[in-house]
Structure 1
């Protein structure tokens, strides 16, 4: 039996087991459901609003943008938090110690984080279809476009979550990254059209994948006339694919380098020191 295939299969089993455990653990389940439920409440209060003079329902505009935000934020933070937590408790060191253990570990993390993205995505999407008026998600092509943007968005964000997780020794340090990402989310046209923001803010937002994920989701879910509130009055399909593709290629190229460096630097003494430091904080 091919050792690599065995490692991949073990990773798939590991990831599905972790996801099942998360769905039966109260704290994990709360963390998984809290923000999606908040977003549903936000959509409920937005349902009667419109975007400026365009006539586009505010809820219809916000739903695909929120979905794009969930993919980006959950993909980045989910991967980063898992890596830092399991680096601190020694899980990563144990994976490193067995043949092809890192391959199985990473496959398992991809499965787990994919679940952490898809479950909130579905929780918001299904009620959102009933709360938001004016959506155009009524053809096979629209659904295929939505799935394609979702897949490309995950490829663009999960590797950078691995990079961030590799760069920090402690899960508490991830909090320092949250503020810039939340700031980018605020200026990426998630809850209000980016066209209403200053030019330099528009330029900054377009560098990062959160804006392009929101735009791609809106192009799949909104009617054609809604394009009037976008930059250049265009869905910019090729630009969306290009920017998310660039982020995916760069991330997939850089993440293995960071992960290998992180794995080489792990040792029993470092794990023990981090554990002792964490225990001292608890007391």
Structure 2
């Protein structure tokens, strides 16, 4: 077995251990569930409101977008935060010092964040099926659509998280990214159909993968008649594959370059400086 394969195998084992720890730790589970729980409560209170032009519940229509938002938070954002924290405490430097350690490190991180994102989608989905009327996941085609949209969405989002985690030196620096991401969620159809937004805002939302992830999840979970409320009055599966695929290709090409550059800059002195700054912030 080659040294790279050994590193990948070690990374898979590490990823499984991190995933198991995160799903058995109360604090980690709460961080995964906080936003979807709050969002489900809000949408449940709004369940008697309807999507414009239909009699369908606005709360039910928003559930797929909320689940997509959770994938973004537990996949892309969590991976970025994990990378910055590991740079700050020296974990990344130790991985760099190990032969093929970066390969194993990234394999483990991607596996653990993928597993957490999937769990973060499935856990709120179960109560949502009982609390909200109109959700349709009884057919095989619905589950097939759910799986391929989720898989393609993760491939598109995780490289972005790796790039963000490489650009910012500290977890506090990621705070500058969190606000724009939250604003993007607001205009990406998570809580309200973007067809009701101004045209320029619709175009802006369609540039980013969150809208297409939410659209794909809506196509899997909502009745076919709800497609009329979307831009283009259809679920646009081909466009979903195209846009998410372009983001995935761009991310997979860019992330290795940025990660290699970040790893070359890692040193004991850089870690010491970050630790000193962290101690000053704590004080």
Tell me the secondary structure at the aligned position of residue 162 of structure 2: helix
What is aligned with 1:75?
75
1:143-164 per-residue CA deviation (whole Å, 9 max, x = no partner) reads 1001100000000100000000
1:56-96 per-residue CA deviation (whole Å, 9 max, x = no partner) reads 22122111111122122322211100000000100000001
Tell me the secondary structure at the aligned position of residue 173 of structure 1: coil
On the 8 A contact 1:22/1:29 being kept in 2, the answer is yes
The worse-fitting range, judged by mean Cα deviation, of 153-162 and 1-10 is 1-10
Deviation at 1:49, TM superposition (A): 2.5
1:232-262 per-residue CA deviation (whole Å, 9 max, x = no partner) reads 2111111111000000010011000010001
1:40-63 per-residue CA deviation (whole Å, 9 max, x = no partner) reads 322322333311231222122111
What is aligned with 1:251?
251
1:171-206 per-residue CA deviation (whole Å, 9 max, x = no partner) reads 100000011111111011111111111111001000
Tell me the secondary structure at the aligned position of residue 15 of structure 2: helix
- The number of residues matched between the two structures is 283
Q: Which runs of 5+ in 1 are unaligned?
A: none
RMSD over aligned Cα atoms = 1.3
Tell me the secondary structure at the aligned position of residue 55 of structure 2: coil
On the 8 A contact 1:39/1:124 being kept in 2, the answer is no
TM-score (norm 1): 0.96
What is aligned with 1:60?
60
What is aligned with 2:92?
92
What is aligned with 2:47?
47
Deviation at 1:279, TM superposition (A): 0.9
TM-score (norm 2): 0.96
Q: 1:88 and 1:241 mapped to 2: Cα distance?
A: 36
1:115-140 per-residue CA deviation (whole Å, 9 max, x = no partner) reads 22112111111111111211222210
Q: 1:251 and 1:83 mapped to 2: Cα distance?
A: 16
